[in-house]
Amino acid sequence: MQLPDGSRLQVEPVLVGRNAEKVEALAKQHDVEHWTTDLDAVIDDPATDIVFDASMTSLRYETLARAMRAGKHIYTEKPTAETLAEAVDLARIRRETGVSAGVVHDKLYLPGLVKLRRLVDEGFFGRILSLRGEFGYWVFEGSSSRRSARRGTTGRRTAVA
């Protein structure tokens, strides 16, 4: 990404997980240079600017609260917490620390859901009185591109927990 001053920003991901073997294999598969099982060390690292949390919901509050208190910007999956009290506390911590925070709404743009929305809007199903949706992990076949992640001129790091 080119910044307004002409310099380039390139994200340098750091994969974080509980199982060293699996994280190492994933890092090798996608040419990611940095990986670890020590989330605390990554959060404490001054080179880490952003923490993207994709862990289990039960671990999310502690990870996000710790990252924001360490001055890291956060990006996370939803739900952001297990309880309303935790979610409100995360909002308070974000406000106090002034970091940026974002939440991914990953399923909204899946092709099947986009088509379903169009069919509903067009009245294909008639009047809908009730709807139940269940989502699991979807796997799409096709070629995957590998991108090498290397330190750019600004050396920004993103921890992916």
Q: Given phi > 0 = left and psi -120 to 50 = alpha, else beta, which region is 52? A: beta
> Other CB atoms closer than 10 Å to residue 12's CB: what's the count?
19
Task: Write out pLDDT tens, residues 137-156.
Answer: 444 444 444 333 333 334 44
| Amino acid symbol at 56 | M
pLDDT at residue 138, as a whole number: 47
Beta-sheet strands, E only, within the chain: 11-16, 34-36, 48-53, 73-77, 101-104, 156-160
Q: Where are the domains of the chain?
A: 11-105+151-160
pLDDT at residue 53, as a whole number: 92
pLDDT at residue 136, as a whole number: 55
| Topology adopted by domain 11-105+151-160 | Rossmann fold (3.40.50)
Q: Say what the alpha-carbon torsion angle 109, 114, 117, 118 is, to the nearest 10 degrees.
A: 150
pLDDT at residue 56, as a whole number: 87
Report how far Cα 117 is from the mean position of its chain's Cα atoms.
25
Low-confidence ranges of the chain (pLDDT < 50): 137-156
